[in-house]
Amino acid sequence: MRFMVFVRSPSPLAALHGDALRHAGVLLDAGDLVPGACGVSGYWLIDVRDHEEAVERVKRIGLPACVVEIRQVAVV
């Protein structure tokens, strides 16, 4: 299953912390989005077994002072 992980933080994090996901072999894409009113946003597109695994992998990264949203991506 594919999941999009959105991260909002005071500084760019997506490319930096995506290395842990890349080494685990689950990262499909990563990038930083245009800064907005809530700070810097970034995303990771990951391929894992289920939502629980997605949550566990993001928890292992340890993102301080971030807002994280994980959504399943429909694969057509």
CATH number of the domain bearing residue 23? 3.30.70.260
Mean pLDDT of the chain: 84
CB count within 10 Å of CB 19 equals 12
Rg over CA atoms, the chain: 12
Q: Using CA atoms, how far apart are residues 31 and 3, in angstroms rounded to an integer?
A: 14
Question: What is the pLDDT, as a whole number, of residue 60?
Answer: 87
Full domain range(s) for residue 40: 2-73
> pLDDT under 50 in the chain at which residues?
none
Question: What is the pLDDT, as a whole number, of residue 70?
Answer: 96
- The number of domains in the chain is 1
Amino acid 34 reads: V
Q: Using CA atoms, how far apart are residues 9 and 64, in angstroms rounded to an integer?
A: 8
Question: What is the pLDDT, as a whole number, of residue 14?
Answer: 55
Question: What is the pLDDT, as a whole number, of residue 12?
Answer: 63
- State the residue for tokens 């566990």: 56
Structure tokens at 1: 């299953």
